[in-house]
Amino acid sequence: MAKHVVSTVAEIPPGARKVVEVAGRSIGVFNVGGEFFALRNRCPHQGAALCTGQLGSAVTSTGPGHYQVDRTGEILRCPWHGWEFDVRTGQSWFDPKKVRVRSFETAVAPGSTLIPPSPGLVPGPYVAETFPVSIKEDYVLVEI
């Protein structure tokens, strides 16, 4: 497993997302209320680009005619058949135990911690060869 720099924090403000290619996989990175989540950009149903779907709310109900709306922006709907996934965990709504999309650990790190202190030292547990890093920015990392 390695941590991959995928974005600056500034590029993905709260409510936004970015689809990136990391280690041969397409991954969607989401900012939900300041926290970052990463999901495989491939719906387990028929392979749609899941992370490009609509973000909505968790809709529950106590009975016919009642609609409870919570956690707005945290439920991802597949652009094809509308399967709902919890952005935080990757679990599907309709069968959280058995149907999910792969989710990945994320982290935020300042640029200063990502640039090797000097030549010759073993670089840190990150991969940034395709992503230019500056000490002035904070970065989102996805662990794959």
**Residue with smaller CB distance to another protein, 60 or 130:** 60
Which residues on adjacent β-strands are paired with residue 133?
A: none
Q: Residue 58: count other Cβ atoms within 10 Å of its Cβ.
A: 14
Residue type, 141: L
Q: Does 100 participate in binding another protein (rule CB under 8 A)? A: no
Handedness of CA 111, 89, 84, 80 (dihedral sign): positive
Binding-residue total with another protein (CB under 8 A)? 40
Rule CB under 8 A: which of 24-83 touch another protein?
A: 24-26, 28, 41-42, 45-49, 51-54, 56, 59-68, 77-83
Pick the binder of another protein from 93, 100, 109, 137 (CB under 8 A): 93
The rounded distance, in Å, linking the Cα atoms of 108 and 66 is 39
Q: Residue 57: count other Cβ atoms within 10 Å of its Cβ.
A: 15
Provide the binding-site residues for another protein, judged by CB under 8 A. Answer: 17-19, 21, 24-26, 28, 41-42, 45-49, 51-54, 56, 59-68, 77-84, 93-94
